[in-house]
Amino acid sequence: MKAITRSSYGSADVLELRDVDPPPVADDEVLIEVRAAAVDPGVWIMMTGRPWAVRLASGPRRPRVPILGLDVAGVISRAGARITRFRPGDEVYGTCRSGSFAEFATAREKQLARKPPGISFAGAAVVPVSGVTALQTVRQAGVQSGQRVLITGAGGGVGSFAVQLAKIAGASVTGVCSPAKAELVRSLGADQVIDYTSEEIDRDGPAYDVIVDLAGSRPLPLLRRAAKPRAVIALVGGGHAEGRVMGGFHRLMAAPLISLFMPQKLKGVTSFVRVPELETLTAHIESGAVTPVVGATYPLAEAAEALRDHATSRSAGKIALEIRH
Ligand SMILES: NC(=O)c1ccc[n+]([C@@H]2O[C@H](COP(=O)([O-])OP(=O)(O)OC[C@H]3O[C@@H](n4cnc5c(N)ncnc54)[C@H](OP(=O)(O)O)[C@@H]3O)[C@@H](O)[C@H]2O)c1
C-alpha cells in the first residue's frame, strides 16, 4: 500500500511517499480502507519530535511508528475475530493505531463510530481529535446556558467545534481569532469576535464565566483579568507553542496546583477519543447543529504540503488528506 513514512524527526521535508506492507490486523482490530485523514498540532508534534517530552512515548532518537496520522475516516475492509460492532463495508470514523496517512490503517472498535452519512470522508476525518477535545472541554468547564464564554483559537481545529458546542449549551460566545477567520467564527455562531491583532481579550474587563484557551499564547495573568472572580479557565492548547522540552504542557500539568492559590478555577484539559463522545458528535452533525470545518484538502502524496499549510495557520478549521483507491 502507499503510505507517508519517515525515518527521523524533523520538518515536513522528512516525509516520503512509499510502498509498504499493510499493517497486520489483530483479533480485536479492524482494517480500514482509509478515505481521509487529518492534520493537526498532534501530527506536527509527532513529526518534529518537539517538544522533546513526546519522544518518551514515540521513540527517543527516531520515531518507532513510521506512519503519521491519528484521525481517520474510511470503510472497514476486514474485521478481526473478536469484532462485534462492525463488519466489512461499514463506513466509520475515529482514531487509528497504525497511522492514517496510508491507504490502509488498523483501529480498535473502541476508537471508532459510524460515519455520519450526510458528510464527506474529509468532513468526518477532521472530527475525532478536535471534536472530542472541544466536547470534553466544554463539559469539563461546565458551560451552562446564559454564561459568557471566551474561546481563543476559535478559528482552528478544536476552536471551530468549541464555538458550536458552547452555543449548543446555550452560552453567549466570544471567539478570539485573526481577522481572516472572523467571518467563519461568526458563521459558526459566535456572538462576538475579538481580533487579537488589534484588541486584547481583557478589553471588557472581567467579563467571562468560562475561558477556553486553545491558542495557548496568552499569559495566565491576562486570561485571569478577562475572567469573572468565580470563572473557570480551561487550558487546552500550547503543546508546541513554547519550550523545547515540555512545550506548553507544563501549564496544563501545573493547573490543579496553581488553582489552589486563585479564586478562579484553573483546569488543564487532556482529551481522550472515546465512542460515547464520537456518538454525541455524530448526533449533532446529523441534526445539523454541528458542521465540521475542512479548511483545505490535499491528496495523500502532498502530505508534506498539508503540514506546511497547517504550520502557517492560513487554513481555518482543520486540513484533511484525501486518499483515492
Ligand atoms: N489538551 C489536549 O488534550 C489537546 C487536544 C487537542 C489539541 N490540543 C492543543 O490545542 C491547541 C489547539 O489545537 P487545534 O487543533 O485547534 O490547533 P489549530 O487548528 O492550529 O488552531 C490554533 C488556532 O490558534 C489561532 N491563534 C494563534 N494565535 C492566537 C492568539 N494569540 N489568539 C487567538 N488565536 C490564536 C490560530 O489561527 P489564527 O491565528 O489565524 O486565528 C489557529 O486557528 C494546540 O496547542 C493543540 O496542541 C490539546
Does domain 130-268 match CATH 3.40.50.720?
A: yes
* Cβ(203)–Cβ(180) below 8 Å: no
**What is the whole-number distance in angstroms between the Cα of residue 84 and the centre of ligand 1?**
36
Residue 293 · residue 188 · CB < 8 Å = yes
What's the pLDDT at 245?
60
Q: Which of 133, 193, 200, 250 to mutate to test the pocket of ligand 1 (most atoms within 8 A of CB)?
A: 133
Say which CATH superfamily domain 2-127+292-322 falls into. Answer: Medium-chain alcohol dehydrogenases, catalytic domain (3.90.180.10)
- Which atom of ligand 1 lies closest to the CA of 238? 45
Strands 208-213 and 148-152: parallel
C-alpha grid cell, residue 63: 520515531
Judge whether 295 and 125 are in contact, CB under 8 Å.
Answer: no
Sequence-distant (6+) residues with CB within 8 A of 312 are: none
Angle at 114 between CA 108 and CA 120, to 5 degrees: 115
As for ligand 1, residues whose beta carbon falls within 6 Å of it are: 40-41, 129-130, 133, 152-153, 155-159, 176-178, 180-181, 196, 214-217, 236-239, 269-271, 313, 318
In this prediction, the residues of the chain whose per-residue pLDDT falls under 50 are: 239
The reported pLDDT for the residue numbered 260 is 87
Structural contact between residues 208 and 141, judged by C-beta atoms closer than 8 angstroms: no
| pLDDT at res. 257 | 86
Closest Cα to residue 128, out of 273, 323, 270, 290? Answer: 273
**pLDDT attached to residue 53:** 87
Residue ranges of the domains in the chain? 2-127+292-322, 130-268
Tell me the residue type at 84: T
Contacts of 282 by beta carbon, 8 Å cutoff, 6+ apart = 113, 114, 116
CA distance 71 to 69: 6
Q: Ligand 1 centre from 126 Cα, in Å?
A: 14
Contact 39, 321 (CB under 8 A): yes
pLDDT of residue 222: 96
Q: How confident is the model at residue 280, as a pLDDT?
A: 98
Contact indicator for 139, 123 with CB cutoff of 8 Å: no
Q: Specify whether the CB–CB gap between 277 and 244 falls below 8 A.
A: no
